Chain A
Amino acid sequence: MSRSRREFLTAAGASGAALLAGCQAEPVDQETPTPTATEADGAGTTAGSPTPSGADTLVVATYPPFVNAPSTSPGAWLKRRFEEQFDATLVYQTPESELNYYLERAIQGVEFEADVYVGLNTGQLIDADDRRGEGQFTDPLFAEAGDVEGMDRLRDGLQFDPRNRAVPFDTGYISLVWNATMDGGEFVAPETFEALTESEYEGDLIAQNPASSSTGEAFMLHTIKEYGPDGFLDYWDRLQANGVTVLGNWTDSYTAYTNEEAPMVVSYSTDQVFAAAEDQDLQKHQIRFLNDQAYANPEGMARFADTDAPGLAGEFMSFMLQPEIQAGIAQRNVAFPAIQDAPLPEDYSRYAQEPPEPVTFTYDELQGNVDEWTDQWARRFAGG
């Protein structure tokens, strides 16, 4: 990266002219950016709250709900805490297409401003590695984490990157959520995968499309854990014969579940945290761990390899693992902390349930397989 991004950002007090013009022409290879219609006025960019000159800036890329969820999201709080501890400004970038946005940029050879990506899962990391070699994407996207304070306190089994680039900062468990008030208050969710296919539960489950939803993917992977790559499609045949509904994403299915279309939905084991906070009937938010298991989906953060603020990015990753910050993220992102000793309030553990046995696929098990499995599943299920 030849020209200084920071300089660009600082000069980017404002991108008005460019935004109004709507187009830009930037020199491809030059030492300093010629501010031909440079970015103008903070209103313009996400990266754009005006940066006080002199202060250092950290650009954190993440998925939109991390900063913008209607209930709670850790974004604003994290920014405040980080800026209190460090003499630096934290700026969020939240592209709708999440990590794909940066992968595309790497392939097209367009530089970007983000220093750290927050909210990475195993599948995304595999995508990032598989795409290397395409177009102008030659250098690694992420750097090794190196010395991150607090890594020794990480809970067992959360680290999903064999090459130690992504550091987990929280985790969620995909489980069934069920409604005990249905069937005239008689309904009880089954306890095993097998029981789920019994006629007693016909038409009772809503799941999600593994290709367009992370909960859907996790649930499919859980069935592969249980029945193996050769047996899971047959299991899904039985589920389909038993009237399982597969919708597009978590929102669609949770909406249908809330409207009592079915008494069970694939969702998160932290479901009661919201319900309790909203004074909703907890009978409608029961958790079931099939076979006493749940699929673990740890979320990680990683430093972009070509960040020009590697030091600050490293400090940010250590900051994210501080016990008090971990507790704050867990509560605001409604997930479980990644470290063992986060000081969580008591009622949090009452409502957020952990499975007796978390299961998950490793990076190596998923690589080269997950797309194949999803394709097979889609062809079998949609063809039905």
Chain B
Amino acid sequence: MDRSVGAALRRRVSRARRTARRVGRAVRRPGGADVLERRALPLLAVGTALLLTVLFYYPVATVLVESVREAGRLTFGPLVDVLTDEFYVVRVFGFTAWQAFLSTLASVALGLPGAWVLARFDFRGRETLKSLTMVPFVLPSVMVAVGFYATFGASGTLNDALGALGVGGVDLLPSLGAIIVAHAFYNAPLVTRVVTASWESVDAGAVETARSLGASPRRAFRDVVLPQLLPAVLMGATLTFVFTFASFPIVLALGGFQYATVEVFIYSAVQQLDYAEAAALAAVESAVSLTLTALYLRYERRQTAERRDVRPLPRERLVPESWRSAAAWTRERLVSRLAVAGYAAVVVVVFLGPILSMIYASLTVDGQFTLSAYRFLLRRQVSGAAFQVRPLPAVLNSLAFGVATLAVALPMGVSMAVLTTRRFRGRVALDALSMAPLAVSGIVVGLGLLRGLVFGVEAFGYRFSASGPAAIVAAHAVAAYPFVVRNVSPGLDGLDRTLVESARSLGASRVRALLDVELPLVWPGVVAGAAFAFALSVGEFDATVILAEGGNVYTMPVAVERYIGRRLGPATAMGTVLLAVTAASFVVIERVGGGFRG
């Protein structure tokens, strides 16, 4: 499918001109709506900053301040204690960084071929497959653990298959290897996703120019395509490192305490109500993550090349039309298709294996097929007490929060992307600050929300507090919008300024130029960001539970956690529902989002 974006763009630009003229006329008669439109971006930016302060910076500060304060005095004591403790510095932070590094390598190695297949080949179900790459992102870690044990465990499917082939079994669990594969399960899709989006906005014209100047396909790839993919690859790697640096449940479930990371120790300290130590560990952890994020952002800034009128590279059919004839299978083609097939096999083992194992667990007891787990869900739905978690409200709440999160996070993310792609002093600092929700430990954010928001702040004789659905959506949006920014801003940064400037000079407002000129050009990034935002909202657990505390606005992951017991059935059945609902949602987001391109 070769989309004629060039034509679509021209249509849009000319429409923008028409609108611009209209708007230009309107400007002479100052009207309220117009002023509002011109102020929309700054207003959104201010709103974003406010939300960030209330839902992120203030709560997190209430926690981190304990790392530098003792008995009301600024002593830096707890922080110094951690930094001078060899056990923490060497064993805990050292090991945490080491496993995060290995996890990042694995995720990139597993994710990149996926981006290559999705960006360069055309086949039936490609769009659907692309949508489904987000699925692992939403699976609760407890379900991933269940699936991993059933797939890679001592008596798991993999060993059964190896046994059937006459090959000796492997004992993967629990081990560092299992942690790394599970981290790749979660994060390789992220790498695939961002790299695919970036590959799809590589300009075919540039490649053709290189080729016409005599570059071999390989050379053209190295000199033209690769430099444009690199920011996306590094972004995927940075995010993976940051996420796996703060990994917690997967480490404990699949590796065991021997491989405890810093987040495990933060959690332990919180459990023992030792907030000074928790805060000190979290402060160091956040500093590492934020530094990496800032380094990446600096790099990204230097990489931008101006682009105009992007025409994506044409995709190759995975199975050539005349696949029966031997002539269709040149050596090069054969090698690339074998590579795709090999990659598909890996995907089946690493991604499908655990997911299918989870579904299988929901359908069997002791190897016997049974629907009892699903009957449990039905029974709970029909006759569960008011204070119990029921499946249908969980599904509806999750969908509602997901949609509401999109509605808040997309405008926030896009306006922040526009703001931070302008040139001004302190831009990188602002960008890094706005990315912080990605880099701060979930436990710290959760604790901060509890103390700063749920319990509230006393001021002027009133106690201000926030909880309930609106607070949940706001918290999800704060956590999700950086994904939108990161998917949109590299594209925006690389756009040809003159396009915007000519629209503006014709009288189009900033917002109008954004909607009609810029957004269509970076649309794959917007859709990818939307999918991330939705996934994050659906999969989020800590903030949802804390902000809903004392209220029964529970979501699908909360239901999964609540249905855990001695039998795996109920939780895995709810996990399967979560899987089905979110998979369907991603396909819908992608289809609806894809329509914008025209």
Interface residues of A (CB under 8 A from B): 15, 18-29, 42-49, 64-65, 67-71, 75-76, 79, 91-97, 100-101, 103-105, 108-110, 127, 130-131, 209, 211-212, 240, 245-249, 251-252, 254-256, 258-261, 271, 274, 278, 280-281, 371, 374, 378-379, 381-384
Given contacts A22-B474, A108-B451, A211-B271, 11 further A-B contacts (CB under 8 A): A19-B551, A23-B464, A23-B466, A25-B462, A48-B552, A70-B376, A247-B256, A252-B252, A255-B145, A374-B268, A378-B265
B87 and A69 contacting across the interface, CB-CB below 8 Å: no
> B547: nearest residue on chain A (CB-CB)?
A22
Given A46-B551, A248-B249, CB of A256 within 8 Å of CB of B464: no
Chain A residue nearest in CB terms to B251: A248
Q: Which residues of B (552-593) have their CB < 8 Å from a CB of A?
A: 552-553, 562-571
Which of B451, B463, B473 makes the CB contact (< 8 A) with A104?
A: B451
Q: Verify if B146 is at the interface (C-beta below 8 Å from A).
A: yes
Interface of B is mostly: mixed
The 18 sampled A-B contact pairs (Cβ below 8 Å) are: A19-B470, A26-B456, A28-B462, A29-B461, A48-B551, A65-B565, A69-B565, A93-B550, A95-B549, A97-B549, A110-B463, A209-B268, A212-B264, A247-B174, A251-B142, A259-B154, A261-B174, A382-B257
Query: Bound complex: CA of A93 vs CA of B155, how far in Å?
Result: 41
Q: Which residues of A contact B145 (CB under 8 A)?
A: 252, 255
Chain A residues touching B, majority SS: mixed
Which B residues fall within an 8 A CB radius of A?
A: 87, 91-92, 142, 145-146, 149-150, 153-156, 173-174, 249, 251-253, 256-258, 260, 264-265, 267-268, 271-274, 365-366, 376, 385-389, 450-451, 455-456, 458, 461-474, 545-546, 549-553, 562-571
In contact, B464 and A261 (Cβ under 8 angstroms): no
Task: Verify B258–A258 contact, CB threshold 8 A.
Answer: no
User: Once the chains are docked, how many angstroms separate the CA of A209 from the CA of B264?
Assistant: 10
Please give, as numbers and ranges, the residues of chain B lying within 8 Å of A97 by CB-CB distance.
450, 546, 549
B461 to chain A, nearest CB (A): 6
Partner pick for A95 among B265, B550, B566, CB 8 A cutoff: B550
Contacts of A104 in B (CB 8 A): 450-451, 455
Whether A45 pairs with B550 at a CB distance below 8 angstroms is yes
A64 to B385, CA, bound (A): 13
Report the separation of the CA atoms of residues A350 and B563 in the bound assembly, to the nearest whole angstrom. 27
Docked pose: A79 CA to B386 CA in angstroms: 12
Closest partner residue, chain B, to A379 (CB atom): B87
Residue in B146, B156, B253, B272 whose CB lies within 8 Å of A371: B272
List, in ascending order, chain A residues with CB within 8 A of B456's CB. Answer: 24, 26, 110
Flag if A20 contacts B470 (CB, 8 Å).
Answer: yes
CB-CB under 8 A from B274, the residues of chain A are 371
Complex-state Cα separation, A298 to B380, whole angstroms: 29
CB B480 to nearest CB in A, in angstroms, measures: 17
Please judge, given known A-B contacts A49-B387, A69-B565, A104-B451, whether A255 and B149 are in contact too, CB under 8 Å. yes
B470 touches A23 (CB 8 A): yes
CA distance A157 to B545 in the complex (A): 36
Q: Of A79, A91, A105, which contacts B455 at CB under 8 A?
A: A105
Closest Cβ of chain B: how far from A213's Cβ, in Å?
A: 9
> Which of A75, A93, A108 has the most chain B CB atoms inside 10 A of its CB?
A108
B469–A19 CB distance below 8 A? yes
B300: min CB distance to chain A, Å: 34
A93-B252 Cα distance, complex, nearest whole Å: 29
Contact partner of B153 (CB less than 8 A), chosen from A42, A43, A261, A378, is A261
Give CA–CA (A110, B150) in the complex, Å: 45
Shortest CB-to-CB span from A371 to chain B, Å, is: 5
With a cutoff of 8 Å between Cβ atoms, the chain B residues found around residue A127 in the complex are 272-273
Contact B465–A24 (Cβ < 8 Å): yes
- In the bound assembly, the distance between CA atoms of A48 and B386 in angstroms comes to 9
Contact B249 A44 (CB under 8 A): no
Complex Cα distance, B568 from A69, in Å, reads 12
- A134 closest partner in B (C-beta): B273
Q: How far is the CB of A271 from chain B (nearest CB, A)?
A: 8
Report chain A residues within 8 Å CB of B467.
Answer: 19, 22-23
CB distance from B387 to the nearest CB of A (A): 5
Residues of A within 8 A of B256 (CB): 245-247
Most interface-central of B173, B256, B273 (chain A CB within 10 A): B256
Structural contact, B173 and A45, CB atoms closer than 8 A: no
